[in-house]
Amino acid sequence: MEILQIAVITLVKILIVVTLMLLTVSYLVYFERKISAWAQNRVGPNRVGPAGLLQPFADVFKLLLKEDIVPFAATKSIHTLAPMLALFVAFTTYAVIPIGPSVEIFGYKVDLVVADVNMGILYILALTSVGVYAITFSGWSSGSKYSLLGGVRSSAQMISYEISMGFSIAGVLLFAESLRPVAIVNAQSGLMWNAFVQPIGFITFVVAAFAETNRLPFDLPEAEPELVGGYHTEYSSMKFAGFFLAEYANMIIASAMIITLYLGGWQVPYIEKLGLPDYAVVLIQVTAFFVKMGVLLFFIIWVRWSLPRFRYDQLMDLGWKVMFPLSLLNLIWVAILIMIMN
């Protein structure tokens, strides 16, 4: 295919996915507030638009019109770069996640993934490690104690859980025999979902994903009672919005990754046996992907409003003394399983 053609198709895909993500983030915030209200027996946002449905837009416009405050004590350039880095990471990782099989549109074969690269999974891991810098830099550059403590804590937390995340992914690779996300999804046909084959790996990965996205019970970097806002204490206006957007975008990416690696991606078990036309199958599969994502996102929000926060030593203990050995055991278990099956 010609390079220009690829570029145009890619740009269209990027625009569609980014728009979808921004919309999802807006309504994810809305649903988070509604669900939290429901969990705490409150009403939640209900003033802007019918049932408060326009609330996310009101929030965005409010943030847009606020003053961008950079404190005296801050190191200005790095203070500005940190939220950019957070956004950069959040809006590059989606590229390798497939939301459906390849389809034919107007005679072109189009993959329902922005970039189908060989190193897909490692690409996400690498970007996750870049994401640590957004938090470290914002913590350091704000010139506030809360920010610094939040930043350093958070980076130590994120790198600790990257280890068990890495080992859990290795278990998935044993079955998929490739780092290509599409191949990983294809390896989970029928009921061979990795969540069923390697439940331990599934659990360690989900826990690590919670820790990487800094969601409760792992939200120590911004533990409100002790650290105020954590690393984004000194951020306002769109810089704050950047962190906020990145956090929710990361939730979406994390659930998409869990689906791709462990819940069969877009696959619906035994759908090919129903004898449906091709386009219907693709449609059902893409819908299945988004349904799975909705369920996972609800789960993440549900956990946040149900569980208390870890203490820092408990968090580190869990990461190094429980999650790491478990993910290692999972790896050996999967290797033995493959030897038995062959």
Measured from the CB atom, the residue of 176 and 301 that comes closer to other proteins is: 176
> What is d(CA 251, CA 255) in angstroms, rounded to the nearest whole number?
6
Query: Measured on CA atoms in the order 15, 187, 130, 302, is the torsion positive or negative?
Result: positive
Beta bridge partners of 108: 105
User: Binding to other proteins by residue 50, rule CB under 8 A?
Assistant: no
Residue among 115, 200, 268, 283 that touches other proteins (CB under 8 A): 115
- Contact stretch for other proteins (CB under 8 A) within 42-50, 124-132, 197-205, 258-266: 124-132
DSSP β-ladder status, 100-105 and 108-112: antiparallel
Residue among 47, 108, 177, 279 that touches other proteins (CB under 8 A): 177
User: Binding to other proteins by residue 337, rule CB under 8 A?
Assistant: no
Measured from the CB atom, the residue of 274 and 335 that comes closer to other proteins is: 335
Measured from the CB atom, the residue of 95 and 296 that comes closer to other proteins is: 95
- Contact stretch for other proteins (CB under 8 A) within 29-37, 102-110, 195-203, 232-240: 232-240
Closest CA to 208 of 235, 182, 171: 171
User: Binding to other proteins by residue 76, rule CB under 8 A?
Assistant: no
Residue 309 is classified by DSSP as P
Measured from the CB atom, the residue of 70 and 284 that comes closer to other proteins is: 70
Query: Measured on CA atoms in the order 122, 126, 129, 134, is the torsion positive or negative?
Result: negative
> What is d(CA 256, CA 242) in angstroms, rounded to the nearest whole number?
21
First CA to last CA distance, the chain: 38
User: Binding to other proteins by residue 155, rule CB under 8 A?
Assistant: yes
Phi/psi of residue 2, each to 5°? -70, 150
User: Binding to other proteins by residue 66, rule CB under 8 A?
Assistant: yes
Residues numbered 82-111 forming contacts with other proteins, rule: CB under 8 A:
83-85, 87-88, 91-92, 95-96
> What is d(CA 121, CA 173) in angstroms, rounded to the nearest whole number?
9
Q: To 5 degrees, how large is the angle CA 237–CA 239–CA 244?
A: 95
CB 117 within 8 A of CB 123: yes
Measured from the CB atom, the residue of 275 and 341 that comes closer to other proteins is: 341
User: Binding to other proteins by residue 163, rule CB under 8 A?
Assistant: yes
Site size for other proteins (CB under 8 A) = 100
If DSSP states are collapsed to H, E and C, what string results for 161-219?
HHHHHHHHHHHHHHHHCCCCHHHHHHCCCCCCCHHHHCHHHHHHHHHHHHHHCCCCCCC
Measured from the CB atom, the residue of 160 and 267 that comes closer to other proteins is: 160
Residues numbered 248-307 forming contacts with other proteins, rule: CB under 8 A:
none
- Of the CA atoms within 13 Å of residue 16, those in its CB half-sphere come to 10
> What is d(CA 161, CA 216) in angstroms, rounded to the nearest whole number?
14
Residues numbered 307-326 forming contacts with other proteins, rule: CB under 8 A:
312-313, 316-317, 320-321, 324
User: Residue 105 in 3-state DSSP?
Assistant: strand
Residues numbered 3-32 forming contacts with other proteins, rule: CB under 8 A:
3, 6-7, 10-11, 13-14, 18
- Contact stretch for other proteins (CB under 8 A) within 35-43, 122-130, 203-211, 295-303: 122-130
Binding characters for other proteins, 180-219, by CB under 8 A (x = yes)? ----------------------------------------
